């Protein structure tokens, strides 16, 4: 021991450790000091959706990813999102994302059971759920709208019945798990088709089958149709088509990725066209922006130093502040939609971080870590696609499968700690923002809020002003009653919630 502590090797080790620790301290304080500020928005819609798609999160956790709040403490990611102002979670659903040996296709292996798990955990923290049906067994987008394997040989009428039944059964499973479903997407980026059908007549029939399933399931859920490429005037034709073919829906949504999808002014104009002409709500169902151009998982990102990082609409810095600015700008563009018909925006996969950080690793260490990451993506489905999807999608995902192409667009650093930019979802709210159920106004929901309401109802004097106290009116009937305290007690024991207790709201 003595001998060892005097050895040059030991001293060198100490020196290296000291340097590493110092560097570590600097890195931590640099992160902690990064502050992000955004201007509030005068939202016109009290239910403005500040959404986050975290479909991949269950498989990321299987691969060992741990999420931490902005203080660096480990917490349930859904709590972290609710604390930072997110009010809605989006989860995609694939019918059967498994090969004949029951290996997952990856991309989160998002079957109905996974959506139910996501919805259940989200609801514990008051978060609403947007269910995103792809009506395929894997990624559906403008380039791919392949019917699920089980529907491949069906006639149109068989497929219509199958789509309706699948929608009903899925929603039942997700709701029974405890999820609070507020919106349902009938198809994903369906510009050129849905579930293998691409004629307008057939598409309209399938949309209406899904819509009818939602209507029969609940009158409280809004039906969304989702397109992309708002930079192309063709998207307006889609709204005309939905009208002409009598498709029953509530929300016209588009994706908006600044690199490809035109200006924010055009986005507002396009959505205003639909809002004014057809009296529909509008939304951005997907957007994202990089906080860095670095990759951290060994799988190339869609936006990097060499790829897609320039363009007239890439307006913001590639920093947490720039990322927050993009989110605020997109929310603002939707809020500006005419007739107050802008309903909100949803960020796409804001938690799809690395399963093993390759940042700064040298060649051998890098390739070793990458091999481990690949094994995790294959085992858990935590990358964008696994090799097993080749059976369903041989020409694209089956060739290019791998990890996350958006880890640099997440709101979490590679070690899982929330970035300061995540606070944008709370900081955009106007003055007077509060958490539903927070009767004593300290920004947390706890047993004190229960006591405060009970004392008020028992007419025991207490010093909290009535405006704050009314934030305890969790069923929002305008009366503070003992039942509000009971609902908050349910929230505190993580029981299924009837009301979105804990989410950030604002006075209108
Ligand atoms: Ca990556």
CA of 226 to the centre of ligand 1 (A): 26
Give the containing element (helix H, strand E) for 285. Answer: strand 281-287
Task: Provide the whole-model pTM.
Answer: 0.92
Q: Which of 33, 276, 286, 481 is catalytic?
A: 286
Ligand 1 center to residue 361 CA distance, Å?
14
- CA distance readout (Å), 507 to 21, 372, 437, 439, 465: 47, 49, 14, 15, 16
286 is catalytic: yes
First to last CA, the chain: 69
Going by pLDDT thresholds of 50, 70 and 90, the confidence category of residue 13 is: very low
Q: How many whole angstroms separate alpha carbon 349 and alpha carbon 286?
A: 9
pLDDT of residue 467: 85
Q: Percentage of the chain surpassing pLDDT 70? A: 93
Tokens in use for 186? 């009938």
**303 alpha carbon to ligand 1 midpoint, in Å?**
9
Ligand 1 centroid, distance to 65 Cα (angstroms): 15
Mean pLDDT score of the chain: 93
pLDDT tens for 148-168 read 999 999 999 999 999 999 999
Which residue out of 189, 197, 349, 378 is catalytically annotated?
189
Q: What is the pLDDT of residue 496?
A: 74
Q: How far is the CA of 39 from the centre of ligand 1 (A)?
A: 31
Residue 112: which residues within 8 A CB-CB, separation 6 or more? 93, 169, 170, 173, 174
Proportion of the chain in helix, strand, coil states, percent, rounded to 5: 40, 15, 45
For residue 29, pLDDT beyond 60: no
187-200 pLDDT tens trace: 999 999 999 999 99
pLDDT in tens, 418-452: 999 999 999 999 999 999 999 999 999 999 999 99
* Mean pLDDT in residue range 308-336: 97
| Ranges 92-96, 248-252, 440-444, 492-496: which has the least confidence | 492-496
Distance 162 CA to ligand 1 centre (A): 36
Can you give the pLDDT at residue 293? 97
Structure tokens given for 499: 């009301």
- Give the rounded percent of residues in the chain with a pLDDT score beyond 90: 89
At residue 329, does pLDDT exceed 50? yes
Query: Residue 206: which pLDDT band, with cuts at 50, 70 and 90?
Result: very high
């Amino acid at each position: 021991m003595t001998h060892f502590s005097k050895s040059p090797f030991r001293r060198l080790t100490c020196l290296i450790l000291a340097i590493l620790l110092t560097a570590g301290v600097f890195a931590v304080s640099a992160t902690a000091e990064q502050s992000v500020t955004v201007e509030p928005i005068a939202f016109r819609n009290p239910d403005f959706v500040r959404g986050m798609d975290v479909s991949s999160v269950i498989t990321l956790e299987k691969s060992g990813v741990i999420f931490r709040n902005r203080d660096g403490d480990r917490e349930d990611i859904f709590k972290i999102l609710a604390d930072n102002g997110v009010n809605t979670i989006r989860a995609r659903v694939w019918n059967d994302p498994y090969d004949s040996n029951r290996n997952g296709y990856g991309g989160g292996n998002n079957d109905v059971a996974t959506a139910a798990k996501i919805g259940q955990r989200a609801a514990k923290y008051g978060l609403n759920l947007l269910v995103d049906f792809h009506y395929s067994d894997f990624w559906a987008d403008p380039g791919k709208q392949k019917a699920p394997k089980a529907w491949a040989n069906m006639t149109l009428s068989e497929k219509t019945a199958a789509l309706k039944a699948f929608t009903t059964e899925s929603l039942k499973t997700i709701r029974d798990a405890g999820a609070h479903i507020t919106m349902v997407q009938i198809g994903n980026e369906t510009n050129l088709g849905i579930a293998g059908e691409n004629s307008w007549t057939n598409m309209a029939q399938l949309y209406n089958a899904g819509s009818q399933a939602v209507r029969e399931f609940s009158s409280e859920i809004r039906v969304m149709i989702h397109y992309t490429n708002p930079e192309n005037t063709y998207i307006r034709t889609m709204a005309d088509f939905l009208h002409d073919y009598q498709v029953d829906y509530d929300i016209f949504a588009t994706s908006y990725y600044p690199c490809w999808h035109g200006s924010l002014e055009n986005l507002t104009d396009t959505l205003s066209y639909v809002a004014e002409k057809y009296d529909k709500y509008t939304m951005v169902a997907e957007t994202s922006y990089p906080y860095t151009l670095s990759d951290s998982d060994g799988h190339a990102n869609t936006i990097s130093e060499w790829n897609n990082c320039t363009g007239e609409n890439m307006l913001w810095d590639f920093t947490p502040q720039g990322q927050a600015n993009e989110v605020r700008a997109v929310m603002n563009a939707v809020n500006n939609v005419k007739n107050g018909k802008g309903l909100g925006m949803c960020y796409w996969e804001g938690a799809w971080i690395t399963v093993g950080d390759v940042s700064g690793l040298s060649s051998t260490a890098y390739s070793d870590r990458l091999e481990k990451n690949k094994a995790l993506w294959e085992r858990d489905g935590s990358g964008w696609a696994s090799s097993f999807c080749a059976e369903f999608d041989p020409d694209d995902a089956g060739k290019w499968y791998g990890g996350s192409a958006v880890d640099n667009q997440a709101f979490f650093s590679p070690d899982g700690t929330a970035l300061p930019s995540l606070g944008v979802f709370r900081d955009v709210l106007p003055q007077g923002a509060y958490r539903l159920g927070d009767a004593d106004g300290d920004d947390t929901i706890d047993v004190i809020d229960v006591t405060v309401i009970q004392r008020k109802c028992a007419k025991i004097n207490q010093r909290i002003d009535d405006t704050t106290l009314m934030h305890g009116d969790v069923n929002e009937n305008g009366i503070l009653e003992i039942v509000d305290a009971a609902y908050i007690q349910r929230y505190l024991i993580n029981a299924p919630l009837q009301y979105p207790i804990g989410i950030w709201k604002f006075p209108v």
